[in-house]
Structure 1
Amino acid sequence: MLEIKNLTKRFGNKTVIDDLSMTVKDNEIMAIVGPSGAGKTMLLRCITGLESANQGTFFWNGNQFDPTNTDQKDTIIGIVFQDYQLFPNLTVMGNITLAPTMVKKLPLDQVKQTARDLLGRLGLDGKEDLYPFQLSGGQKQRVAIVRALAMNPKILCYDEPTSALDPALRDEVAEIILDLKKQKMTQIVVTHDMDFAQNVADEIKRVEQID
């Protein structure tokens, strides 16, 4: 279970997140929704450690942790970026294996086998040697999900996973998220799409813009 207590994020005199507390239960999906500018993505960036909070504490199964600490033995939070952020000069396999081998120092052969298994699960068999420019938007999305899963996170976060996808691909992403739930993956989804949120989420957290 992920617990966030009294999270506050400011930029100068502007408060973006004010004393927010929330709990994400194991094996469930929480959707974070709200109007543009309400701080949804900033909340996700604080949860994933891409931004430092001004105050607040984070707990995983009762143990406090620092999301910004990249030296932690176990990866607690993984993220799938809105624009995928795949390295254009690396193949699909290269994108997936880079972080596990460089950050976690895992053997390349082990990481490649994990990558192949994950690619198969997400319908990407045979795409290992392609480059991002050779993939469709939906395929890039799935590669980004595989890359995050390869770090074996306890929680997987998504920033606007359907923003650049047509309705058919949006349904495909929903199926992937719900399938990962069946495999006991705890997930957090930031989205402006309320229909999508209601389709996938066990709980919806609404954030409002601070005046």
Structure 2
Amino acid sequence: MLSMLEVKNLVKRFGSRTIINDLSVKVNDQDILSVVGPSGAGKTTLLRCITGLERVDSGKFYWDNQEFDPTDANPQNMIIGVVFQDYQLFPNLTVLDNITLAPKLVKKADTKDVKRTAVELLERLGLAGKENLYPYQLSGGQKQRVAIVRALAMNPKVLCYDEPTSALDPELRDEVAKIIIDLKQQGMTQIVVTHDMDFAEKIADNILRVEQLK
């Protein structure tokens, strides 16, 4: 039986303003869901709710029909990984240290194992030999891939992206599309928030359109 992420009856308000009202969505195992819509429609808010960065006013989250809390900080319960729009790499750490920091601190993983996994992931995403560089020495596309590797190093079930192509030129946009499709073929379930409809259609199995609430 395929695994599935399910969001049921999600409601999110900021003060008196309702941003998301009774939204339900399912993402099947290894599928790519693109979330599209105009600015202010709640795309990033939805992503922040799914990844546990925002608490919801009501609604439930399920993985494999088991309810979970995205805000639960227990690393054993980690379902969702996230790649941020601005990458959020630590400028004072090397590529390798950026990737291995969370698995070592949060998951208490063995340093040797974490480094081996990081090097394998870097190689998989075309970043072999970049382990000892600092973020300022990387291009935008390379930073994007390091951010993806860092998220993958935590071994999430679902990987979410917030506007992964917003700062990239068309050639790099195609490169990110290829990475996302390659990860799907390797078994990763993904959710991509984007304003770029062409990009969304290129990568997605399903598209969720969100509208600004009146």
Normalised by the shorter chain, which TM-score bucket?
over 0.9
Q: Which amino acid aligns with 1:164?
A: A
TM-score of the aligned structures, taking structure 1 as reference length: 0.99
TM-score after normalising by structure 2: 0.98
Once the 2 structures are TM-superposed, how far is the Cα of residue 10 of structure 1 from its aligned partner? 0.4
The residue identity in structure 2 corresponding to 1:38 is A
- Structure 2 runs not aligned, ≥5 long: none
Ranges of 4+ aligned residues in structure 1 off by more than 4 Å: none
CA RMSD of aligned residues (A): 0.6
Partner of 2:20: 17
Deviation of the 1:74 alpha carbon: 3.7
The reply to whether residue 181 of structure 1 matches residue 184 of structure 2 is yes
Residue 34 (structure 2) aligns with: 31
Match of 1:60 among 63, 72, 83: 63
Structure 1 residue 137 and structure 2 residue 140: aligned? yes
State the Cα distance separating 1:6 from its structure 2 match: 0.5
Contact 2:12/2:20, CA 8 A, preserved across alignment: yes
Equivalent AA in structure 2 for residue 33 of structure 1: V
Instruction: Give ranges in structure 1 of 5+ residues lacking alignment.
Output: none
- Quick one: which of 103, 108, 112 aligns to 2:106? 103
Provide Cα deviations, 1:121-156, integer angstroms capped at 9, x if missing partner: 000001000000000000000000000000000000
Q: Does residue 123 of structure 1 match 2:126? A: yes
Measured in 1, the distance between the counterparts of 2:32 and 2:138 equals 28
Equivalent position SS for 2:76: coil
Report the counterpart of residue 113 of structure 1 in structure 2.
Answer: 116
SS in 2 for 1:177: helix
Identity of aligned residues (%): 71
- Provide the aligned length of Structure 1 versus Structure 2: 211
